[in-house]
Every structure is written in C-alpha cells, then in structure tokens.
Structure 1
Amino acid sequence: MGNCVSLSIPLDQSVNKVSQWLEKIGGYTHNIEKNLTVLETTMVDLKAKQDDLSRKLKREEDGGLRRLAKFEVWLNRVEAIENRVNDLLSAINVELQRLCLCRFFSKSLLSSYRYGKRVILTLREVEKLGSENFDVVADQALTPEVEERQLQPIIVGQETMLEKAWKHLMEDGVGIMGMYGMGGVGKTTLLTQINNKFRKDRCGFDFVIWIVVSKALQLEKILDEIAQKVRLRGKKDGSQKAVHLFNFLREKRFVLFLDDIWEKVDLAEIGVPFQQDKTNAKWYSPLVLKMYVHA
C-alpha cells in the first residue's frame, strides 16, 4: 500500500547531546558571579598597564617621537573593551536575580546563557590585550618635507644676491640673517628662493620652517604654528608651551624663516633657542623679512 521509513537514533547519543548542552549552559550561568569578579580584576590590571604605557607615550611624544600605529590600535581596543566590561558589570544585579537552584538554572535561561557567554568571551579578550607587550610605543617621526613656496617674477640681478645670501647663510657662526628695505625691492622673492633651495638640499637641517608674523604680532600664535610644523605634540599652557618647544628645538638643527615682521620678536617667548655671541647679529626693522638659522 505504501512505503514506510523508520529512523532510529540511539537513546544514549541523544542523552549525551542534551547533557552536554545543559552542562555548557550551566557553566555559563552557574559561574556568572565568579567570572565577573575575574573579569573586573583583569580589567583593572589592563587599565593600569594602559596608564603606564600612556605616560611613557606622552614623554616620548613630548620629545618629538611619533606613536606607533600598532600601539594606537591597542589603545583604541582597550578603550572599547572597557566600555563593554562596564556594560556587563552594570547589569550584574538583574542577571543574578534571574538565577535559581544554586544558580544552575535561570528564570530566563536564554538571557542568562547569552549574558554568561558574553562575560567569558569578554574576559578572554581582556586577557589577550593584557598579554600584549610594548617595549616600544613610539619611534622617530618622519622629517617633514620643505614646503615649496610660489615665486614672484625674478628681479634682474637677484641671482647674484641669492648666491651671496646663501653663501653667508652656510658660513659657520651665522645665527641670524636679516633682510630689510622698501616694499617691492624683492625681499620676499629672495627669501622664497632661499626657502625653495632647501627643498633641493636640506644641508643637514632637520626642519625648515616658514612663519608669517604680520603686523598684528601674536606670539602665542607663532609659537603654536612652529610647534605644529615640527610635529611637536603635547598639551601645555602659557609659558610652558615655549619651554616645551625650546627643549625640543635645542636638540635639532633647523632653519626658521620669519616673514612680514613689523616689530621686535622675542625669540625666547616663542620657544626658539638662540645664544647671541660675537658671531651673531640681529636686525629689527619695520617691514623686515627676517630669517633665523640655528645650527
């Protein structure tokens, strides 16, 4: 009359699967409080490690180094996992109230299972992050390229002036060289030519910096621009900004172009190292285009 298909599954196999499933769920639910305690302690250790490495990073960034991309990723992951841990800890009272029968079962079994599983998986991630070692958190930053500036039409005879200025600039003991004169005589063009010449040959300088001072002198703005162009990080306030920049630049070889100066600029106030001696000379004049060189 018809076909009949019979399937037979051994009873002991079915019992084993159910037993394993219940054991797995029971492991997640019964040990929730214990696992949360371990998670909280492990997270505290991870935060302490993060704080220690962050202080180390700050010291190295203050010294002009650049943080490693790998370490930046680690910091972001620690911050993200901390938020997840806090979410789990904030829900602990609700989850514990659901448990019953010596915490082997739950009034909401699926919810407790998912919560307990999240605790275990999060704990493993925290442990993994804590096991990562960073002997080095920053390295030497790449030297910024010299910014090429657009040239105005060359004035007749300026090639000779450029050669003379460049030769003088490369002489030992030259600390400051100033250019001044009436408008339109080619001061900016000459200064730009010298700047662009450094693009082809840095002559061993770490930084070549161009700053427009302008008539409305703002020392803090100048200081901030210099720090930005040498990629100096670290938050400082007031006079500490100048000290911070000074301590960084005194270990470097740099050329600083100060354009459009109308009044005296105190180098100490903008964090520029300069030791005046008999081989150095200063010019302060209205409409001056001044270049400072630190060798």
Structure 2
Amino acid sequence: MSLLSPIVAIFSKIWDCGAVRAVYICELKENLDSLKSEMRKLKGERDEVKRKVNEAHEKQMKPRERVETWLQMVDEIELEVEPVIEKASQRISTMCLGGCCPMNCCSSYKIGKRVAEKLTVVNKLITYGNFIEVADPLALAKVEEMPCRPTVGMDSLLENVWKCLTEEDEVGIIGVHGMEGIGKTTLLKKINNKFLGTGHDFDLVIWIEVSKESNVRKVQKSIGERLGLKLSQDESHDGVRARVIFNVLSKKRFVLLLDDICDPVDFEDVGIPRPNRTNKSKVVITTRSQDVSLRMLAQKNFKAECLSWNEAWDLFQMIVGKETLNSHHQIPELAVRVALECQGLPLAVDTIARTMAGKKAPHEWNDALNNLVRESTSTQCAVHLPATLLTIETVIRPNEIGIDPTLPTTVGAGPSYDLVLPTAGHR
C-alpha cells in the first residue's frame, strides 16, 4: 500500500494537469467568443470615457490619474488581444469533434490558456472602468501675471488704488479715469502683478479687457474662461451664464480688474456679486470718462494724469538708451523735441521711444519730429515748463547723457532746430 501511494499521487497530478489542459482546449471556442464580445464592450466603455475626458479638457478640468492609467491599459490590452484572437480563430478551424480534438494538443493548449487569461484581464478592466467622475477641476491660479512695460510716474496713483484694495473695507468699487494713452491699462496690469509678490487675503484676481466692442456675453465669456467654466454662448442664455458666474464668485473673495470700459457694466447682468463690507471683494475699473465711474457707483475715483516733463524725459531716455542719444551731437536736442511732442502721454512716449531706439542718424530724428509736428493736433495734455526755462540745457540735463557742453544748446542757436518750449499756460 505504501508503495502504491506515491504512484497514485503522481498519476493524480498528471490527470489533474491533463484535465486542466483539456478544459483550455475544449473551451477554446467558447472563451474566444466571450473574448470577442467582452472586448467590444470594453472598447465601447473606453470610447465613452474618452468622450468624457475630452469634455473635461474643454471645461479646463484635469483627468484623474486612475482614469488615464485605465485608458492606457485598455489600449495595451487591445493590441495584445488582436493577435491572440487571430491565432485562436485559425486553431479552431483545424480542430475536430466539436473543438475537443486538436491536431496539435500542445499548441492548442497554449492558445486556449492565452485566450482565457486575456478574457480575465478584459473582464477586470470592464469592472474597473465604471467611473463616476473622470476629472477634477484645475486649481485656479490666484493671480495670472500680465506682461507689463516699464513705467515712470505711476507710483502715487498705484499706491492710492492699492490702499483702497487692501486697507479700506468700505471701498468696494474703485474708478480710474483719464484720456486714451494715459497709462490706465498699464496701471491695471501693475496692480494685477503686484498681487503676485505681495501677501493678500484674496482668493482670486481677475483681469478683463472690456473695450468698446464688448457686451454682456463677451464679458461673461472672459470671466468664465478665467474661472475655468464652460459657458453656453447662446444669446438667450445670458441669465443662465450670470447665475453660473455668480455662484462661483459669491463663494470667493475676489478682485476684478475691468479695463477700458466705455459704457457702464451692469454687475447683475454679468453675474458679478457687488462688492461690500461683508464679502470684502473689490472691483477696479478704468475708463476714459469719469461719468462711467460715477454711473457704476465707484466709491473712490482717481484721475490718471499725464507725466511731468522730467518723468516723460526719464522714460524716453530709459527706452531709447544712452548709446543712441550719444551717437551724434545733434541727437540730444532732437530727442528733446521729439519727447516734447509726446505731450506727457505714457503710451506715446513708450511707442515713439521704442521706434527711435537705435536710430543714430540725425535725419531719422528730423523725419520723426516733422511727422509728429504734422500729426499733433491736441494740447490738452501738453507738459508744463516754466517760461523762464529757455534753454535745452535746462531740459535735457546734458551731464546725464554726456552732451558736449561746448555745443550750442540755446534755443535757436542751430540753423535748423528752433525749439519752442511750452509756456506756463499750456496744459
């Protein structure tokens, strides 16, 4: 009896092994049909999940890592299953007796086992792919940095507006008005960027360019994009969009910077919660007309002024550069005249100075000056210089840019450079 036991055990294992192999072979066709069916089902679920992920991307949402991993696994198993199905189909065509009598038992076993294994993996992926949510909202950046050119002469106005934003709870709406080109947009960008490097208690800073062509829907679209919302652009859905925006902003302490407003913006129509002492949110608007600020019920109004002559000249020199100013003895005098034609408008100073940077031939400066004189029709922002300052020397501070003090700098000393400085009465 003791001698037979090991033999019985060996034959039992052989029988079990053979039985398992027989199952793989006999169930090959059934498992193959199931694999094809389940693979179609898995692909359908994969396509649906991809559709939801694409929708999430459009809504500025981030797909969950588990979802992305699952999609990758489905793509991989699809590549693995295709050759298995092809080989199994070929093997079945060579079998007889209902698929239980293969021509090559060993090969049929391997294929049958592989089909069964892939079927198990596919079934698990189908189970795992039952996602309730496929993505999460992206964490909104509190502040998005805005490109901003160097400026001068804005420090006082910037600090006044900043004080209203950070220290005066009773001031919810701040208005800044001034003529076109005075630097209102630059001011708003500097305020936006100041939040990046300064501690504050706001949840979100939003910068929106309104402009003359904007309407309620366009303003809503700009705000919605900043909030990561996918808003309907149907003209009849203004109220729906307003409620969506309001629901998001009412849960945050925000700063809304509305640039270049031509006509009053109705906060309720757009969906902007009106700032007050309770929510402590703030709105800053820039406009050319003080009337717009008043109609929007701004509690504080500031006027953006033209640059003083010294500020305008400092900015002009900074942009043009000393190398250009020192490149020819006639250029400093011409540069002063060109800068004066900018009339203290920061945008004009910046644009013209950038144009003249690198221009080292006097005729280029003469051409620019003649063009500016022809095009200049407004004196409402002319810089103020005392009437007693009748020499270019007092204006351009020659020692700062290396002008030869022996050169004639008195007004009218040169044959073709008769500079007429603004008198005290011109503003």
TM-score for the superposition, normalised by structure 1 = 0.62
Letter of the 1:189 counterpart = T
**Secondary structure, in 3 states, of the residue corresponding to 1:74?**
helix
Q: Mean alpha-carbon deviation: is it higher for 78-87 or for 253-262?
A: 78-87
**Secondary structure, in 3 states, of the residue corresponding to 1:229?**
helix
Structure 2 Cα separation of the partners of residues 73 and 235 of structure 1: 29
The question of 1:161 aligning with 2:169 is answered: no
Taking the TM superposition and a 5 Å limit, the aligned residue runs for 1:207-226 are 207-217=204-214, 219-226=216-223
Taking the TM superposition and a 5 Å limit, the aligned residue runs for 1:195-214 are 195-201=192-198, 203-214=200-211
**Secondary structure, in 3 states, of the residue corresponding to 2:264?**
coil
CA apart distance, 1:165: 0.8
Other-structure match for 2:244: 244
Checking the alignment, whether the CA contact within 8 Å between 2:202 and 2:255 is kept in structure 1 is: yes
Do the aligned partners of residues 281 and 124 (structure 1) sit closer, same or farther apart at CA in structure 2, a change above 3 Å counting? closer
Q: Mean alpha-carbon deviation: is it higher for 279-288 or for 96-105?
A: 279-288
**Secondary structure, in 3 states, of the residue corresponding to 1:121?**
helix
The question of 1:125 aligning with 2:124 is answered: no
CA apart distance, 1:73: 2.2
CA apart distance, 1:183: 1.8
Do the aligned partners of residues 89 and 173 (structure 1) sit closer, same or farther apart at CA in structure 2, a change above 3 Å counting? farther
Stretches of structure 1 that go unaligned for 5 or more consecutive residues are: 1-15
The structure 1 residue matched to 2:31, chosen from 24, 28, 35, is: 35
Stretches of structure 2 that go unaligned for 5 or more consecutive residues are: 1-12, 299-427
**Secondary structure, in 3 states, of the residue corresponding to 1:200?**
coil
Letter of the 2:262 counterpart = W
Letter of the 1:207 counterpart = L
Letter of the 1:206 counterpart = D
Do the aligned partners of residues 77 and 23 (structure 1) sit closer, same or farther apart at CA in structure 2, a change above 3 Å counting? closer
How big is each residue's C-alpha offset from its partner over 1:115-165, in whole Å with a ceiling of 9 and x where there is no partner? 745532332323443358989866674342623334344343x32221211
**Secondary structure, in 3 states, of the residue corresponding to 1:255?**
strand
Other-structure match for 2:360: none
Other-structure match for 1:230: 227
Do the aligned partners of residues 101 and 281 (structure 1) sit closer, same or farther apart at CA in structure 2, a change above 3 Å counting? closer
The question of 1:186 aligning with 2:183 is answered: yes
Structure 2 Cα separation of the partners of residues 112 and 235 of structure 1: 57
Other-structure match for 1:72: 68
Do the aligned partners of residues 143 and 125 (structure 1) sit closer, same or farther apart at CA in structure 2, a change above 3 Å counting? same
How big is each residue's C-alpha offset from its partner over 1:193-236, in whole Å with a ceiling of 9 and x where there is no partner? 2111111125122222222223321544443443333334x575
CA apart distance, 1:30: 2.4
CA apart distance, 1:180: 1.6
Checking the alignment, whether the CA contact within 8 Å between 2:81 and 2:118 is kept in structure 1 is: yes
Taking the TM superposition and a 5 Å limit, the aligned residue runs for 1:82-97 are none
CA apart distance, 1:166: 1.0
Structure 2 Cα separation of the partners of residues 249 and 222 of structure 1: 14
Letter of the 1:273 counterpart = I
Checking the alignment, whether the CA contact within 8 Å between 1:32 and 1:116 is kept in structure 2 is: yes
Checking the alignment, whether the CA contact within 8 Å between 2:25 and 2:99 is kept in structure 1 is: yes
Do the aligned partners of residues 162 and 118 (structure 1) sit closer, same or farther apart at CA in structure 2, a change above 3 Å counting? same
Structure 2 Cα separation of the partners of residues 95 and 266 of structure 1: 74
Other-structure match for 1:102: 98
Other-structure match for 2:367: none
Q: CA RMSD in A?
A: 5.3
- Please say which structure displays the higher CA radius of gyration: 2
Identity %: 33
Do the aligned partners of residues 259 and 80 (structure 1) sit closer, same or farther apart at CA in structure 2, a change above 3 Å counting? farther
Do the aligned partners of residues 43 and 84 (structure 1) sit closer, same or farther apart at CA in structure 2, a change above 3 Å counting? farther
Checking the alignment, whether the CA contact within 8 Å between 1:180 and 1:285 is kept in structure 2 is: yes
Checking the alignment, whether the CA contact within 8 Å between 2:39 and 2:122 is kept in structure 1 is: yes
Structure 2 Cα separation of the partners of residues 30 and 103 of structure 1: 6
TM-score for the superposition, normalised by structure 2 = 0.46
Do the aligned partners of residues 49 and 93 (structure 1) sit closer, same or farther apart at CA in structure 2, a change above 3 Å counting? closer
Do the aligned partners of residues 87 and 169 (structure 1) sit closer, same or farther apart at CA in structure 2, a change above 3 Å counting? farther
Structure 2 Cα separation of the partners of residues 112 and 248 of structure 1: 62
Do the aligned partners of residues 95 and 243 (structure 1) sit closer, same or farther apart at CA in structure 2, a change above 3 Å counting? farther
**Secondary structure, in 3 states, of the residue corresponding to 2:116?**
helix
Query: Which structure has the higher relative contact order (CA within 8 Å, separation 6+)?
Result: 1
Structure 1 Cα separation of the partners of residues 219 and 82 of structure 2: 43
Taking the TM superposition and a 5 Å limit, the aligned residue runs for 1:262-273 are 262-270=262-270, 272-273=271-272
Do the aligned partners of residues 100 and 227 (structure 1) sit closer, same or farther apart at CA in structure 2, a change above 3 Å counting? farther
Q: Mean alpha-carbon deviation: is it higher for 116-125 or for 91-100?
A: 91-100
How big is each residue's C-alpha offset from its partner over 1:229-278, in whole Å with a ceiling of 9 and x where there is no partner? 3334x5756324444333223222222222222233344454x4313779
Structure 2 Cα separation of the partners of residues 111 and 266 of structure 1: 77
Q: How many residues align?
A: 269
CA apart distance, 1:97: 6.1
